[in-house]
Structure 1
Amino acid sequence: MHIKSKIEGFEDWLFIEELPDSYNVQTPLAEKSMTIKRPPVNQFSNHMISSGGLFLMNVHMQFNEPASILFEIEGETVTSQFIFYEQKQTMDDKQRTKKMRGGARHNIRYIPSLSGRYELQPDVVYNYFLIVLSKEYYFHLINQDSLLHADFVQEIKNGKYTSISAQDLLVSHEMKQTINDIVECKRAGELKRLHTESKILELLMLQMEQLQNDQHDEVRKYTNLEQEKIEQARDILDQDFANPPVLPVLSRMVSLNEFKLKRGFKAYFGTTIYGYVTRLKMERARHLLVDQKMTIREVTYEVGFKHQSHLSEAFKKYFGILPSEIRS
């Protein structure tokens, strides 16, 4: 497969990759990084990983004026695409900045061959995470006859450009964590290959799991604006999970009625609001206990519990062991 991309108006290509379609465990991973900072680019950093049948890109970018990214893909590929964006706006006389509405979307696409462009808005921070797999590599990871992607596979057989979901879906907490695991991996050589491949498979599984949860077309009942409000609610919980707002308050904060917020949150993220907050609390508690070596008493208040017994009970229910046992 042949992949290349450039910023429109720039002479040099950001990258040109000619990769074999075949999956071969003997092909080592190659890594490259680059940064750009010249008008109209305010910031641009890109880290790439490639191997036989695999190309992975994590790019962080912001432009001072409207810009376009041109791309070309040749060969039958399956892409797992994630785009995160956030806009900041200067406010009042003190020139403070306030985070404005952002979002995160994902999809899986079959691309037989394609050239096109992505239009980028000024002063929006974009983080684009892209996995490009040859058709052979994709079917190495997920069996061609799996019912998880039966309709998608049929379109692949027909050689037609298609997306596994008719509309892009919201990125879940687990997906963000898995992407972070890939990006922040410090392993090298064969260990990095195994880690990268396992996390790509995990990411595809999470994407398909979300699609399976959508079997009654629940997510299609929500407008783009309502989706953004559901994302905003998730962001609020991410930032203040230790003392999260109750549902009526959260509903008012994002200007979406309680019923739609509850149903939409479950449809997009596969869990209730309560379950999501519990997951954040427990994962943070485990991190503080294991990695930060904090005491159970310290962790109790850090993640929003009033008594150690409440933390121990929740921890036992979530992980199957007590906090005191996790370090023993």
Structure 2
Amino acid sequence: MICKTTKEFQNKVLNKMTFTPYPNENYTIYKNENRPELGYFIKYSRDKYYEFGIGDYTIPESFSLVFEHNEEILRFGTVYSGETKFKIENNPVSSFSPSSFFVSEKNIKGNQHWKKGQHFHGAEITIYKKYFEEIIHSNFPESIVFDKFINNYTYNYLPLEVASIIQKLRSLAESNKLTSLYLESKILESIALLYNEISSSPENVFTNQLNYGDIKIGNNKSITLTASDINAIQKAHDILTKEICNPPTIKSLSKMVFLNEQKLKAGFSAKYHMSIRQYTNSLRMTTAENLLCTTELSIDEISKMVGYNYSGNFVKMFKNIHGKTPLAFRKMKL
């Protein structure tokens, strides 16, 4: 079964934990009274606006869950102990391990795994888009927005002040001293601190410390891509697409997007599954195919239009890709 909402996913996890809900005035505690050694999960919430959860539990049996939902939410918190692996579609396998984390979720799809005997202890705030639309943006329209972050990417970072807020809330909750008013005030403070962080500079700690993964460039060598690197690679892709008939050299392109040639070439290949040269050739040949089928231009004219100074080079490249000359291709399409 696929979990279609965040709430459904959470309920499935708690069910697999064999936990039963016990409502209190300000929160609900989930536990198995017959097996207290499994621990507990505490949840404070303002329905459809935000949640604050504290977990300290041990997995009774191994299980996995598949999720796919269209909700837009921000989640951030701290994992004090334990690690769980998860796979988000179109992203590498990731994991939560002892550290702070932040993620902006939108149209997320993937799966997550838990192993018997694993122990987890952590605290997390979840804020739904409805809270931003009705409470934050209606009063502070210039504040934090979802598109400031890469969707469905887990940042292993929180500003120290926000991490301290999480710690304070957890401590109060575990001693049954956390009130709903105080919780909401700290959620608002966290949003303000996050907004200050991302509005301070385009190159803030989220972009500077973002690790987009390591790419191998040799038997014993690899490079790490950051969010700013990925943005540069995307810009390079856009430039190549626009300048299809006169693409810049790799050296020129690297200067245009402010990224060194090695990262540009390796990152482009990793992101688009083809080299820069292969991509430009693909664009040229696609344009040539269209001109051959829809115009009566000569082969020489078409070769110049797609950026070849010598028609012989164009014919050779076209034949390598299609297995036939441009003229034979045109005759076949008539």
State the TM-score, normalizing by the size of structure 1. 0.43
State the TM-score, normalizing by the size of structure 2. 0.42
Q: Which has the larger radius of gyration?
A: 2
Structure with higher strand content = 1
Structure with larger RCO (C-alpha < 8 A, sep 6+): 1
